[in-house]
Amino acid sequence: MNLIQHFINGKVVGGSSRKTSKVFNPATGEQSSEVNLASKADVDLAVQKAKEAFTDWCRKPPAQRARIIFKFKELIEKNSDDITKLIVSEHGKIYEDARGSLIRGLEVVEFACGIPHLLKGEFTENVGTDVDSWSVRQPLGVCAGITPFNFPAMVPMWMFPIAMACGNTFVLKPSEKDPSCSIKLAQLFKEAGLPDGVFNVINGDKEAVDALLTNKDISAISFVGSTPIAKYIYENAAKNEKRVQALGGAKNHCVVMPDCDLEQAVNGLMGAAYGSAGERCMAQSVAVAVGKIGDSLVNKLAKKVESLKIGPGLDKNSEMGPLVTKEHLEKVKSYVDLGVQEGAKLVVDGRNTKPHGYEKGFYIGGCLFDNVEKKMRIYKEEIFGPVLSIVRVKDFESALDLVNEHEFGNGTSIYTRDGDVGRTFANKIKIGMVGINIPIPVPVAYHSFGGWKRSLFGDQHMHGPEGIRFYTKLKTITSKWPSGLRSNPEFVMPTMK
Ligand code: NAD
């Protein structure tokens, strides 16, 4: 059985714990590997090595750090097929989608290559007579990332390239469901010339996470995952005096206006609801049909959902792969059962889908519910599977209220041809990322990613300018040289007279 270990101080190591967890190939349902789960001692060792590496790494000129990151970028490009196959083999999503997610991560690496420019501070000459003032951003120390299963390459890559470009060292704790990708990325970074200890990967479960949260040598924690765990991370990281950003779950609404290009909206929704089998934090899981568009929207969607091609991620014909684990499949199916019990109309039922030859894989077909209501649990809770709920509302204002009243605030979009409606929506909606005729408005690497409400605990979004701010602290220096204007002792606040 393949054993997935940790990556500490430039080496793959087994760690001291005997605890392991199973990793599956979701396409076949077979176990593919065993992953070591770190003990507190393993985590502490990784943090210690990262702390030692920080001393030299933070002193390296940003341009030298950028050169290593640039080499890492080249190695990812060279190895993109292998990394993509690793994602498919442990997550299950289709090859081209996995490749796309790797490229979105790579774009953050490209952004981080510009670190000499991004770390430039601000300077003011003569804030007082012969007095100058400037500000610089300095690294924090050892930073940690805790990431979810659904983007085993992209989400970690939202974090560590920027953290390390800023001069920090990093300990990553990826999801134990698909851990191989992170180890591969660490090996490529070493090949790119990264000094040992700057980037470490610890595989593990709650025990490893708790060890990170309580380790006094960790300055900042970045988390992406479900809302209950995000809240736990936020509270405990703060309690242990760490900087923290904790991104949580979502229930993204797509508002479909009666004046929209329906074909465009339906195609957008198909990709956004069923792409990656709905296991995306930016998946559209609710379509809000406004006014008379409801019937035609449901009819057009139903035909396309019924004809979705479901199969293994490496089969070029597949449009949707399996879910990540058997437990997750059972959970998603139980939500579909619940929707039926709650009185929603199940227009397309994918519960019995079993691709030929892959009967043991973790598959479910696309599911479509109509007449979903606000009080239903299938509306309120994140299902994280290929289940789209249609809620019908009478007008634009009702759609706006519906989206704003939901506890999550990650992403949303609107389909309309009316610029006025689009602008009002963007202005009034209480959501972090908004699309106008764009189904999944994920910001590019040089903007920042993050939600509102219970989709993000903390102040800073991820990557882009917010990433630079999160991974650095500001220092402002005010100076005067002895040759400047002499002054007598002053006992009052100096002001500009
Ligand atoms: P999860 O919350 O179960 O796990 C995330 C991480 O936390 C993993 O590394 C896991 O090992 C760890 N963890 C799990 N339980 C823990 C516990 N009790 N104590 C400490 N650590 C624990 O999430 P998941 O199932 O891996 O991923 C899916 C979730 O992530 C969805 O809710 C999805 O919306 C969310 N997500 C959000 C974003 C975003 O940007 N907001 C992006 C991707 C995924």
Three-state secondary structure string covering 94-162: CHHHHHHHHHHHHHHHHHHCCHHHHCCCEEEEEEECCEEEEEEEEECCEEEEECCCCCCCHHHHHHHHH
Residue 302 tokens, joined: 């139903």
> Which of 93, 150, 324, 382 for mutating ligand 1's site (highest number of atoms within 8 Å of CB)?
150
Over residues 75-81, the mean pLDDT reads 98
Asked whether residue 472 falls in the same domain as residue 393, the answer is no
Cα angle 249-82-440, degrees, rounded to a multiple of 5: 30
Q: Does residue 495 carry a pLDDT above 90?
A: no
Encode pLDDT of 351-388 as tens digits.
999 999 999 999 999 999 999 999 999 999 999 999 99
Residue closest via CA to ligand 1's atom 30 equals 225
Instruction: Please report the pLDDT score of residue 492 as a whole number.
Output: 87
What is the extent of the structural domain holding 369? Answer: 252-436
Asked whether residue 118 falls in the same domain as residue 232, the answer is yes
Asked whether residue 217 falls in the same domain as residue 312, the answer is no
| Confidence band of 482 (pLDDT split at 50, 70, 90) | confident
Q: Does residue 311 carry a pLDDT above 90?
A: yes
Distance 78 CA to ligand 1 centre (A): 30
Distance 120 CA to ligand 1 centre (A): 34
Instruction: Please report the pLDDT score of residue 497 as a whole number.
Output: 60
Distance 332 CA to ligand 1 centre (A): 16
Distance 229 CA to ligand 1 centre (A): 7
In a domain, 128, yes or no: yes
Asked whether residue 67 falls in the same domain as residue 158, the answer is yes
The number of folded domains in the chain is: 2
Ligand 1 atom showing the smallest separation from residue 233 Cα: 20
Ligand 1 atom showing the smallest separation from residue 210 Cα: 20
Question: Which of 452, 475, 471, 473 is closest to 111 using CA atoms?
Answer: 471
Residues across the chain? 497
Measured CA to CA, the distance from residue 266 to residue 310 in angstroms comes to: 19
Encode pLDDT of 420-472 as tens digits.
999 999 999 999 999 999 999 999 999 999 999 999 999 999 999 999 999 99
In a domain, 424, yes or no: yes
Residue closest via CA to ligand 1's atom 42 equals 281
Instruction: Please report the pLDDT score of residue 222 as a whole number.
Output: 98
Residue closest via CA to ligand 1's atom 16 equals 206
CB-based contact 217:53 (threshold 8 Å): no
Asked whether residue 152 falls in the same domain as residue 280, the answer is no
Residue closest via CA to ligand 1's atom 9 equals 175
Instruction: Indicate which CATH number applies to the domain containing 423.
Output: 3.40.309.10
Encode pLDDT of 19-71 as tens digits.
999 999 999 999 999 999 999 999 999 999 999 999 999 999 999 999 999 99
CB-based contact 217:170 (threshold 8 Å): no
Instruction: Please report the pLDDT score of residue 493 as a whole number.
Output: 85
In a domain, 49, yes or no: yes
Question: Which of 395, 419, 414 is closest to 292 using CA atoms?
Answer: 395
Asked whether residue 323 falls in the same domain as residue 379, the answer is yes
Distance 315 CA to ligand 1 centre (A): 28
Q: Does residue 6 carry a pLDDT above 80?
A: yes
Asked whether residue 327 falls in the same domain as residue 345, the answer is yes
Instruction: Please report the pLDDT score of residue 104 as a whole number.
Output: 98
Sign (positive/negative) of CA torsion 191, 194, 196, 198? negative
In a domain, 318, yes or no: yes
Concerning whether 254 is annotated as a catalytic residue, the answer is: no
> Which of 21, 177, 210, 226 for mutating ligand 1's site (highest number of atoms within 8 Å of CB)?
226
Between the alpha carbon of residue 342 and those of residues 182, 378, 403, the distances in Å are 41, 8, 21
Instruction: Indicate which CATH number applies to the domain containing 111.
Output: 3.40.605.10
* Residue that has been written with the tokens 């995000």 in this structure: 230
**What pTM was computed for the model?**
0.97
In a domain, 492, yes or no: no
Q: Does residue 167 carry a pLDDT above 70?
A: yes
Sign (positive/negative) of CA torsion 221, 226, 232, 234? positive
Asked whether residue 135 falls in the same domain as residue 263, the answer is no
Q: Does residue 181 carry a pLDDT above 90?
A: yes
Q: Does residue 491 carry a pLDDT above 90?
A: no
| Confidence band of 410 (pLDDT split at 50, 70, 90) | very high
| Confidence band of 11 (pLDDT split at 50, 70, 90) | very high
Asked whether residue 328 falls in the same domain as residue 194, the answer is no
In a domain, 33, yes or no: yes
Asked whether residue 367 falls in the same domain as residue 244, the answer is no
Distance 135 CA to ligand 1 centre (A): 36
In a domain, 445, yes or no: no
Asked whether residue 393 falls in the same domain as residue 315, the answer is yes
- In 271-417, where do the E strands start and end? 284-290, 345-348, 367-370, 387-393, 408-409, 411-415
Question: Which of 440, 435, 465, 462 is closest to 451 using CA atoms?
Answer: 462
In a domain, 449, yes or no: no
CB-based contact 425:255 (threshold 8 Å): yes
Give the pocket of ligand 1 (CB within 6 Å).
146-151, 155, 173, 175-176, 205-206, 209, 224-226, 229, 247-250, 281, 382, 384, 410, 451, 455
* Residues pairing with 133 in the sheet: 124, 478
Asked whether residue 81 falls in the same domain as residue 48, the answer is yes
